[in-house]
Structure 1
């Protein structure tokens, strides 16, 4: 009876403390058996340990006995290879991953080792595993760091990064376990989508994905499209328009909406622009007014809504976008070409190449290609419902190895950002006097550098980690816990490096611990509570002492964009501007909840449209694969253009070469038609809100337009392929494919498309344009 009550009590505590998480009792029950196996496994030689792991490959479907064996073998392999005996919670995390969950493990609890042991477990079941990271640095670091463990378990490991050749990538993907950044794995999939010979493929069929920082990849970046483009020419913005827009002033010539997603000309602004462009009518239905209006709108968005050192940097003569969720430069990320060119014109830098989009896929759709997905992160419970809704994944909360003793102070709220910043400076100076290390989390590059300048003026030196120097991030973060250190960082989510008290060598650990450990300061609440928790989680790792405090203002962007209607009666201190009223705390939490809700709805809406595209992609790829791997293209052309095919066969006395020529023709046309289809779908989505004005459901209308067009692709591929062969000039060397119009892009490149800041509110934008048109006619 007592045991039953204990189990019930434990289950109730789990429900109260960890909502939306799966029961761990089954996995916890295996821990004693794993520990019992340790003495026997310790006696094995390295070769015998490898052989014992190999025996697991012979088992069909795994049960608890195999999980126990893997846990014991993995623990011993880690002890020998890294001199680290995996804690029970790390083994528990491994078991959670092996059973297809997203495991929540606190910062510093050893997710990397748990992920490696789970990857080895899947590999020993005969499955090929991709360990998906948030950046290239972590992919290489973790693969090299964990390799000795994989070697002892008889599992091969590789990694991919941008500098690797096609052959190196193929070799990495054919290892049992492959580490790679989510973007790099996605780009390789897109590159494979364009090959014309089966032997050029680098990726085998996807089987298992273990995702590090799963909430960041599966939620924050889920709707980010990865794009493969082919060269066309340099993107040209209208320089005359850019020069005119540069002189416009907010409030006089243009207005912006409260959430910073749209900008539009006022009547005065329209007049100035029209006069400056030679007296044209921007809103006329004929002439070049409409073309110029599109250029003006794009230039205005670049000028009014995109801020240097917040949304992008200008470095080495190039515009480089900042990934807001990671606080670092997104190396290959860009806006859709018109906006990219407009920002380049705004900053007066050379235009980058403009490309025709050959293919694209969202991160969410990329992950949906894997039959089995598991993940790990420090903050999964907060997005448990989204993980269930979009990926059918459940969260398993792993308790910390040592109780968290970090002290989280109540937020300090101020009336204005300037008063808040002054209080932050005072807090840093006060804590720094004691020698306690400080980590400050800021919202963007501009804020981090402004704070660093202010600290320097009062003699407080700090190390700044932002998108300008993220290449040195590991070194900077590793040393942020040394005595007297002050580190200012733009975004700590996904940095992937633990902060050790006393610095990376830990020599001053006891001294720093006595002072209270790492002190974390947040300069504002993030749009997501998970990002707050990830910043906080940098302190108090593995039972270390630590503390955290967030500063906020009722005029922070988070509040102004999501909950600007401040309740009446909230008063601030006349000298410091500090607000103690509980209503202010409620307002900031409300603003954060609104921001999270908006993001969820955008994610949900994006996936509604993307699901159809992905079903179409899967169907088309199956047909393309037949063209690539079989003689289907030859059969179609032989049947559709028998005389021309006979002429080709007689001129080219090599059946394999004839087959490849037919394949090249068919693959060119199916790729071109898919590219055209994606462009068509983009146009449909951009205009779909007009359907809502006619009281039609936009999603239904999107499906109604997209499905018939897709069904034309495969028949049209065959028709165009036959026409290309019929029109081709055949010589004794075969066909000049390029002369026949079968011309692929001379160069290709990949990039991530940054969220278009005005696309998601297209309907609002349309209202603004219609209002302006009415005003113009009046």
Structure 2
């Protein structure tokens, strides 16, 4: 009852909103149409400059909206021969307001975006129009771009193979088309740049996201990651792969398909230790524990299927997007899973990658000042859109009444019976000349169905990740007379299916779903391919008790119903109760996945705060005329940290660790104070601070003079950026490991999230301290070599800086060895026990747990 009331009130609210959109925006925009139509091309184009002047004078975008939208409508009529419908204006207003417009397939979402894109581009701060693939970005740029260009705006396009110069030019345009992946990766690359001129993006101002549910929910499960190779052996993956092939489910391990989880039994742990010839399966390999790698190998063998979750192409494992069926080139499973699959498929295991930069789609798009989206299916996920992005969903009515008939699901006992019934249905409709679009959940299923149709002699097209390049071409022909098209999930999404001549009279396009998806939204996307712009059409799902969704959620109840009615082989059951049970299962799965994404986002938000600090500081360094003020501030902070470690203000000066202080100063700066024992009582912390700072600044100034002020300014900037990048990369690696094991804290009755917050904060503070120290250490030890024998040049200085920073490990190693030698001279007796969070006694300045106490 509560659900019915909620739906009722939701519909009433929706109706009021649509009425308001019509009266407040559509009516006045339509009233302007005749006046705007009388303008010449030059006068219409001049409106752009007038709007910009009005913005400068204090008017807002909302003040300009009605007239600006009327101008865009007129420009579209003249340039591309398309006039915005009233419902498209409503959708455009919703997008400008930073909401999601749910509009059915074929309602012209591409044209809808031109109005808010033009309006928001008037600010001169840039508008990004985000699509799901390069093809759609290019198509829309050259299809809609002439409208903006006619009105005096510049339009750019980002493609996967665009050069840095092309990207920079595209981002400088008023409106830029591109994919979510390219926008996100460009952001990460910009924040790894070591030269100002290498940065391509401007500020993140306003984004219109096409197929918003696909990008912000489906693809948001996987973060964007830029990786670099780590020089470690991959033989361990082959070794573990050979072992897991000998393990038996139920005896050595158990799996949970719903969550794709796997765990070893006690017997399994003993068996693996015996086969690997190790004493402890939980020993860290540098890639994680052996137990972790074994679990990943078991997941690869028992939970990830070839031609379903991934394909093997040209000796590579390529992930298949479970929602769109597209190949995800360049994306790899993380945490050793991809390597485990490569070993399983007997391919060359690619070397481990180390994360250099990463960001989730959620946190990338939340950095925009304003985002909005459009799709045919978003209402079922509205709670998540509001929670994560603050974007409510507004359902825009269709321009013409929807004439699609959604038939009741039919369900069979076995998958074999189901596919036989699907082929019979296709054969019957094909004889009538009616086009059929069949949706499958995997490449494997699409190829199975294709083989069955070949045996029947039914001509058809198969669209899956293996022939992704022909996607738009194949799907565009799906509405022609007699056409039979098999498509994995929503491949071809974004391409309009226009009915061929005489097809409407036959009943239009018929869509067959061969399996219900975990998400109702994906099912609705498939249904939505039929019945565009008032066309007739129909849809129906054919299911079996062996389908994943039914097998995992509720097949027993349906099987009991079939038994009760004495259903024979090949005879389906068709009942509203079955459909309700399936939708109930889908809601449970949707809720489960939403919970997972909420949890992941909570953790990623902590990482994101740290990322924002690092990236904003990095930008300041990159664009500052001089980073000397940063360096001088670092000096004071490092000296304060040294005093905190060796000159405890609660102790008398003669009790301070003067020997440790000298070792630390020598390690960092190459000199020590060597204060005589008799002089020590005369010091206080302020006097000691002034002495160290004065000597440090003097040493630093001598270094600057020896190199030259102008050259050293560039060296300071370069070294600071390189040190930040090196430590940030290591920090990302450490955070990955922390996240992986933090769940175990729950065993000790501690909240894993709170523990993660605390440790992440500690680790971040330690990283910042190491950045300060290493920056000063490298700058004070840098040597500029003049290879020409003449005066030192900036080029030579930069090269030398590069050598110094890239050889930082060698420098650190050399100095550390001297410190180790010095400390080893002290007798072990009498040393107090070092706490995990105390400064390491070796003098490195790190906490003991991150230095000599590291396990």
Q: For the superposition of Structure 1 and Structure 2, which TM-score range results when normalised by the shorter chain? A: 0.7 to 0.9
Q: For residue 360 of structure 1, give the secondary structure of its aligned residue in structure 2.
A: strand
Does residue 617 of structure 2 align to residue 623 of structure 1? yes
- In structure 1, C-alpha distance between the alignment counterparts of 2:220 and 2:349, rounded to whole Å: 29
Shift of the 574–496 alpha-carbon distance from structure 1 to 2, 3 Å rule, reads same
- Which residue, 600, 603, 613 being the options, matches 1:609? 603
Shift of the 334–722 alpha-carbon distance from structure 1 to 2, 3 Å rule, reads same
Shift of the 705–458 alpha-carbon distance from structure 1 to 2, 3 Å rule, reads same
- In structure 2, C-alpha distance between the alignment counterparts of 1:714 and 1:586, rounded to whole Å: 55
Deviation of 1:485 (Å): 0.6
What TM-score does the superposition give when structure 2 sets the normalisation length? 0.80
Q: For residue 333 of structure 1, give the secondary structure of its aligned residue in structure 2.
A: coil
Shift of the 290–712 alpha-carbon distance from structure 1 to 2, 3 Å rule, reads closer
- Which residue, 535, 546, 549 being the options, matches 1:555? 546
- In structure 1, C-alpha distance between the alignment counterparts of 2:182 and 2:748, rounded to whole Å: 42
Q: For residue 566 of structure 1, give the secondary structure of its aligned residue in structure 2.
A: helix
- In structure 1, C-alpha distance between the alignment counterparts of 2:808 and 2:94, rounded to whole Å: 46
Does residue 40 of structure 2 align to residue 45 of structure 1? yes
Check the 8 A contact 1:274/1:282 in 2, yes or no: yes
- In structure 1, C-alpha distance between the alignment counterparts of 2:241 and 2:12, rounded to whole Å: 53
- Which residue, 589, 595, 598 being the options, matches 2:589? 595
Check the 8 A contact 2:14/2:395 in 1, yes or no: no
Q: For residue 388 of structure 1, give the secondary structure of its aligned residue in structure 2.
A: helix
Using the TM superposition, name which of 435-444 and 111-120 deviates more: 111-120
Check the 8 A contact 1:21/1:397 in 2, yes or no: no
- In structure 2, C-alpha distance between the alignment counterparts of 1:590 and 1:142, rounded to whole Å: 38
Number of the residue aligned with 1:134: 132
Q: Within 5 A, what are the aligned runs for 1:430-445?
A: 430-445=428-443
Check the 8 A contact 1:210/1:373 in 2, yes or no: yes
- In structure 2, C-alpha distance between the alignment counterparts of 1:284 and 1:664, rounded to whole Å: 41
Q: For residue 734 of structure 1, give the secondary structure of its aligned residue in structure 2.
A: helix
Q: Within 5 A, what are the aligned runs for 1:414-425?
A: 414-425=412-423
Check the 8 A contact 1:259/1:562 in 2, yes or no: no
- In structure 2, C-alpha distance between the alignment counterparts of 1:527 and 1:81, rounded to whole Å: 43
Using the TM superposition, name which of 693-702 and 348-357 deviates more: 348-357
Q: Within 5 A, what are the aligned runs for 1:95-494?
A: 95-233=93-231, 236-238=234-236, 239-246=238-245, 248=247, 250=249, 254-259=253-258, 261-265=260-264, 273=272, 276-277=275-276, 280-281=278-279, 283=281, 292-336=290-334, 338-492=336-490
Number of the residue aligned with 1:658: 712
Shift of the 154–284 alpha-carbon distance from structure 1 to 2, 3 Å rule, reads closer
- In structure 2, C-alpha distance between the alignment counterparts of 1:624 and 1:286, rounded to whole Å: 33
Number of the residue aligned with 2:738: 684
Give the root-mean-square deviation of aligned CA atoms. Answer: 2.8
Using the TM superposition, name which of 334-343 and 383-392 deviates more: 334-343
Deviation of 1:687 (Å): 1.2
Deviation of 1:350 (Å): 2.2
Deviation of 1:31 (Å): 1.9
- In structure 2, C-alpha distance between the alignment counterparts of 1:371 and 1:285, rounded to whole Å: 46
Shift of the 311–726 alpha-carbon distance from structure 1 to 2, 3 Å rule, reads same
Larger Rg: 2
Deviation of 1:647 (Å): 4.6
- In structure 1, C-alpha distance between the alignment counterparts of 2:604 and 2:107, rounded to whole Å: 36
Check the 8 A contact 1:237/1:341 in 2, yes or no: no
Does residue 521 of structure 2 align to residue 527 of structure 1? no
Check the 8 A contact 1:493/1:534 in 2, yes or no: no
- In structure 1, C-alpha distance between the alignment counterparts of 2:373 and 2:16, rounded to whole Å: 14
- In structure 2, C-alpha distance between the alignment counterparts of 1:743 and 1:559, rounded to whole Å: 58
Check the 8 A contact 1:237/1:342 in 2, yes or no: no
Where relative contact order (Cα < 8 A, 6+ residues apart) is larger, the structure is 1
Using the TM superposition, name which of 727-736 and 419-428 deviates more: 727-736
Check the 8 A contact 1:236/1:351 in 2, yes or no: yes
Deviation of 1:416 (Å): 2.0
Q: For residue 203 of structure 2, give the secondary structure of its aligned residue in structure 1.
A: coil
- In structure 2, C-alpha distance between the alignment counterparts of 1:360 and 1:288, rounded to whole Å: 20
Number of the residue aligned with 2:578: 584
Q: For residue 571 of structure 1, give the secondary structure of its aligned residue in structure 2.
A: helix
What TM-score does the superposition give when structure 1 sets the normalisation length? 0.88
- In structure 2, C-alpha distance between the alignment counterparts of 1:269 and 1:663, rounded to whole Å: 54
- In structure 1, C-alpha distance between the alignment counterparts of 2:271 and 2:745, rounded to whole Å: 33
Does residue 773 of structure 2 align to residue 719 of structure 1? yes
Shift of the 676–480 alpha-carbon distance from structure 1 to 2, 3 Å rule, reads same
- In structure 2, C-alpha distance between the alignment counterparts of 1:286 and 1:106, rounded to whole Å: 52
Number of the residue aligned with 1:734: 797
Number of the residue aligned with 1:748: none
Does residue 748 of structure 2 align to residue 694 of structure 1? yes
- In structure 1, C-alpha distance between the alignment counterparts of 2:131 and 2:40, rounded to whole Å: 33
Deviation of 1:324 (Å): 0.8
Number of the residue aligned with 2:849: none
- In structure 1, C-alpha distance between the alignment counterparts of 2:287 and 2:377, rounded to whole Å: 51
Deviation of 1:314 (Å): 0.5
Deviation of 1:450 (Å): 0.7
The size of the alignment, in residue pairs, is 726
Check the 8 A contact 2:520/2:586 in 1, yes or no: yes
Deviation of 1:59 (Å): 2.1
Using the TM superposition, name which of 336-345 and 366-375 deviates more: 336-345
